[in-house]
A and B are shown apart, each in its own frame.
Chain A
């Protein structure tokens, strides 16, 4: 057969096939498509955190722990000692928060998807949750401590034996591996009764690391406290605590190099006897909402989180987060289960050292 005839034959035969007309149903469905809004996508800001800021999120954890210790469930005009206690506990809580190294924070370039469940040429479009996972990872250690520690963090307030400080407050957090981290806060306090104001200033110690911390609030309303923790004038964390409707609420702002990197709202509450932490990103690149809880699988602690991201398209699903320890290497295995799609696994370096408090150094990403 001549080539020309063959091509004509193929063309003719292909046109003989009757293909159904779906145009009307496609139009009907197309009319239901959401209108696309013009979105200007700015490139993600890249921050190279200096070692000095490594512990910034650790401090956030401590602030929260401090607030939790206080647990001002019964609003009342407090005695001066109580006000000081609020300030101290808030500050200590801030310090006990997340230990996150700069390497860990830069992992967003290297998010590793385990595609074991997929054929390699399948297109997966999970851009939003992938983008957010790194930001969420920063808070995992904080979540571990908030969810797995005792409610009062076993705190003890004593007179300080260090020159220049009047008070000494210690407390302990516990992570998913049941490892404890100890925090010590040395501080002074001042009260201005005329202005109904208290101010607390001091240092908080985690292992070999020491941070300056200050807090202030109303003398007659310990349910509202502002805490400021700063490495230097350009790098600091602000935290506002309030207690409303049986919920501990925190607003955390992380500022680096004079740029507000991120702001989140946290709510700590009990539901059906189980402690939960709700987190919403309110400033920065991330926009998702997350609810964290502790779960036990085969007598091993893990965290579970449900997520909802309302970006260009709504994404929702669940994370299962477990901690793997292999010698000195401690990692998170995060199983992401997007609704309606196949799950996949991401491995992230965990920042805490064996002692549970100091940041892990020399971090590197391990791909699955």
Chain B
């Protein structure tokens, strides 16, 4: 049994002594699963905590041998979508707020977000889950609920687009 599965078995016994290791092993996957949808660093970090709490709350549902990165990515993605949909319903006030000139505009400094912003939403999610989160296309197809062929097609199209446009970030 590899390290992460050993820790998960400990967590199932409510033994949290290795949780920080687990967190560091998985935080990138959780973060990028979220941020590929909501594109807000601070908000993504907030949602991350909810993702881990949900994971720990339902940890007995995690099947031994499953890919924990895919599992956490799925939780992260679902919670980000829920959050996004809730925000969408606040569009009236959002429009109003956006119409007010902001004195401080937070600039997106991280190159990775600029690179991912070159893609359409589904392209961004699939590239993130495969390249950053190291998930297999078969796992991604389950998460995004699209046929494997569609996922591969979207991925190849996204990579082709990035090969042309991402040169500036080298």
A residues sitting closer than 8 Å to B (CB atoms) are: 1-3, 5-7, 9-11, 13-17, 19-27, 29-31, 33, 35-36, 118-119, 121-123
Contact = CB atoms under 8 A, between A and B. Distances in A.
Nearest to B111: A13
A24 B24 CA distance: 12
A14 to B, nearest CB: 5
A31 B17 CA distance: 12
Nearest to A121: B81
Contacts of A121: 81, 85
Given A6-B159, A22-B48, A36-B60, A122 B28 contact: no
Interface in B120-165: 127, 131-132, 159, 162-164
Contact of A16 (B27, B112, B127): B112
A5 B132 contact: no
A26 B53 contact: yes
7 contacts: A3-B159, A16-B111, A19-B27, A23-B23, A24-B20, A33-B56, A35-B14
B16 A13 contact: no
Contacts of B163: 1-3, 6
A86 B46 CA distance: 64
Nearest to A13: B112
B38 interface: no
Majority-rule SS of B interface residues: helix
Interface in B14-72: 14, 16, 19-20, 23-24, 27-28, 31-32, 41, 45, 48-49, 52-53, 56-57, 60
Contacts of A31: 14, 16
A188 B86 CA distance: 65
A62 B163 CA distance: 78
A13 B110 contact: yes
A122 B28 CA distance: 24
B23 A22 contact: yes
A14 B170 contact: no
A117 B110 CA distance: 37
Interface residues of B, number: 41
B6 interface: no
Interface string B58-99: 001000000000000000001001100110110000000000
B167 interface: yes
B85 A19 contact: no
B19 A23 contact: yes
A18 to B, nearest CB: 9
Contact of B23 (A17, A26, A118): A26
A282 to B, nearest CB: 29
A362 B110 CA distance: 64
A119 B90 CA distance: 13
Given A10-B132, A16-B112, 16 more contacts: A1-B170, A3-B159, A10-B162, A13-B111, A14-B112, A16-B110, A24-B20, A26-B19, A27-B16, A30-B19, A31-B14, A33-B56, A119-B85, A122-B82, A122-B85, A123-B78
A6 B23 contact: no
Those 6 A-B pairs whose CB atoms lie nearest each other, nearest first: A119-B85, A13-B112, A23-B23, A23-B20, A14-B132, A30-B56
